[in-house]
Structure 1
Amino acid sequence: MRLRMFKTLKRLMLAVIVAPALAVAAPASVDLDRAPVSMDPATLQHGAKLFVNYCLNCHSASFVRYNKLTEIGLTEDQIRDNLMFAGERVGDLMTIAMRPKESKEWFGATPPDLSLVARQRNSGDGSGADWLYTYLRQFYRDPNRPTGWNNLVFENVGMPHVLWELQGEQVLTDGKLVLDKPGRMDAAEYDRAVADLVSFMVWMGEPGAEKRETIGVFVLIFLVVFTGIAYALKKNYWKDIH
């Protein structure tokens, strides 16, 4: 039991320390686009599909279990049949088989855990969601980089553009990104896909956020009503004195 608690604490510390590496501050010349985040179940389900197919190969989400996805409207059978490909159990954590040492050799840095990545980049120039949404749309071909890719938001990033088949290949011309080779999606479709992916990562960072906010509303309503009752009671008690 103690060993399990120690391992969980160790993973949490690593996520807090390493995850900000993906969320390096954007250069001043890059304005972050507002991410159209949605907690609609269909949006989150599509985002989960993209995350599992394109992100979970190198990045883990070790604080989320597969069966947690039932909260976005999926059944355990749907999760098992469509989002699990390596014999995992539906109650397992969303981890990867790639060893950190090997990934560091391949990419120059160990790909960070993405469980909390959407909560790492909250600052005056945009939220973590805005950073991710802009970052995933700003890749361009760069033959001088080991992966062949670079990014306007995260200069000299070690991560390749895993979504290039969907977006196509952009090149940097006179400081602007130009689509050189189209992908399977047009620009609007790709932006929607990235928005769905980012929405899922926002949800993943705090699955209980919507429930918490709902409870918060009822708590505020209760406090307002209780304050009115308390004030009326106070007036009734002190009416003879005043």
Structure 2
Amino acid sequence: MKKFILTLVAAVGFAAGAQASESGIHWDKAPVNTTDTASLQNGAKLFVNYCLSCHSAAFMRFNRLKDIGLTDQEIKDNLLFTTDKVGETMKAAINPKEAKEWFGANPPDLTVIARSRAGAGGTGADYLYTFLRTFYRDDTKATGWNNLAFPSVGMPHVLWQLQGERRAVFEEVEEHGSKTQVFKGWEQLSPGTMTSVQYDQAVGDLVNYLQWMGEPAQNTRTRVGVGVLVFLAFFIFVAWRLNAAFWKDVK
């Protein structure tokens, strides 16, 4: 129940995030590789377990996960928590009417979140990768959490059990006659179930899946595009040789 409540509150954070300004911090490069099926499968598992409680992916059907190497049976056994039909779309577990009553709006859909968050700091995947790795404890906030990529975010750290609890270390410096807080590093308050490297990899897999989910046909599109270019190159060569053969006797 506690996990569900935390995930529920996360919906508010994502909703508010659409209207928030960027913090200006450097966005880390997300390890996106949408051809890595093992990464995509792990990302899909994390998405279903930690995101789908509140956020739908209304433009994605569960059976589309067969494109990343899963069978219908594997999907049924491991990923169907909100429906019993593989052909259904990824609907959130939360009741939309209750969500609107509690928060004033339904939690945003995450189908194309990786594409919609792109900005001057990098790609949408870079933002999500940075955001999910920069949560820290802040007792002044209602949720008890804050975030470097999105200061004063309304979303709690739903992956905190994996990463553990951290505190952000700031140093007060004076710039142009005014004092400001500058981030200096992290202090680990309690360990998570994963090491730092393992957690970064897990977040990378989740972001990789979100990137793939925004356009599942992107790998097919790339393969078709390469094939078309190869065909055009071959056709140009054939046309050039035919043109030379047709006009060789003309002076």
Q: Residue 19 and residue 143 in structure 1: after superposition, are their counterparts in 2 closer, same or farther (change >3 A)?
A: closer
**Which of 112, 116, 120 matches 2:112?**
116
- Displacement of 1:219 after TM fit? 0.5
Contact residue 121 and residue 127 of structure 2 kept, 8 A: no
> Match of 1:54?
50
Cα separation, 1, equivalents of 2:215 and 2:16: 17
Query: Structure 1-normalised TM-score?
Result: 0.84
Residue 74 of structure 2 aligns with which residue?
Answer: 78
The alignment status of 1:42 with 2:38, answered yes or no, reads yes
Counterpart of 1:103, as a letter, is A
1:56 Cα deviation after fit: 0.5
Inter-CA distance 110–87: structure 2 relative to 1 (3 Å threshold): closer
Which stretches in structure 2 are left out of the alignment for 5+ residues? 1-13, 171-182
Correspondence for 2:229 among 195, 209, 220: 220
Supply the distance in 2 between the matched residues of 1:109 and 1:160 (Cα, whole angstroms): 18
1:65 aligns with 2:55: no
In the other structure, the counterpart of 1:155 is: 151
Q: CA deviation at 1:239?
A: 2.9
Residue of structure 2 in register with 1:6 after alignment: none
SS of 1:222 mapped into structure 2: helix
Counterpart Cα distance in 2 of 1:109 and 1:151: 23
Q: Which residue of 1 aligns with 2:141?
A: 145
Supply the distance in 2 between the matched residues of 1:99 and 1:82 (Cα, whole angstroms). Answer: 22
**Number of paired residues?**
224
Q: Which runs of structure 2 are paired with 1:1-242 in the superposition (5 Å)?
A: 21-22=17-18, 26-28=22-24, 30-38=25-33, 39-100=35-96, 102-103=98-99, 110-174=106-170, 175=183, 176-242=185-251
Shift of 1:191: 0.3
CA distance change for structure 1 residues 23 and 234 in 2, over 3 Å: closer, same or farther?
Answer: farther
TM-score scaled by structure 2?
Answer: 0.81
For the Cα contact (< 8 Å) 1:20–1:120, is it kept in 2?
Answer: no
Contact 1:35 1:130 survives alignment (8 Å): yes
Could you tell me the percent identity over the aligned residues?
52
Which AA in structure 2 matches 1:178?
A: E
**How big is each residue's C-alpha offset from its partner over 1:50-98, in whole Å with a ceiling of 9 and x where there is no partner?**
1100010111111111111111111111111111124431111101142
Gaps in structure 1 of 5+ consecutive residues:
1-17
SS of alignment partner, residue 111 of structure 1: coil
Residue 146 to residue 71, structure 1, CA distance change in 2 (3 Å): same
Compare the two structures and name the one with the higher strand fraction. 2
Structure 2 CA distance for partners of 1:73 and 1:23, relative to 1, 3 Å: farther
1:170 Cα deviation after fit = 1.5
Q: Quote the residue 1:9 is aligned against.
A: none
Alpha-carbon distance between aligned partners in 2 of 1:87 and 1:223, rounded to the nearest angstrom: 46
Deviates more, 1:158-167 or 1:35-44: 35-44
CA positional deviation for 1:106: 5.3
Q: Choose 83-92 or 161-170, whichever is displaced more.
A: 83-92
C-alpha separation in 1, matches of 2:21 and 2:219: 28
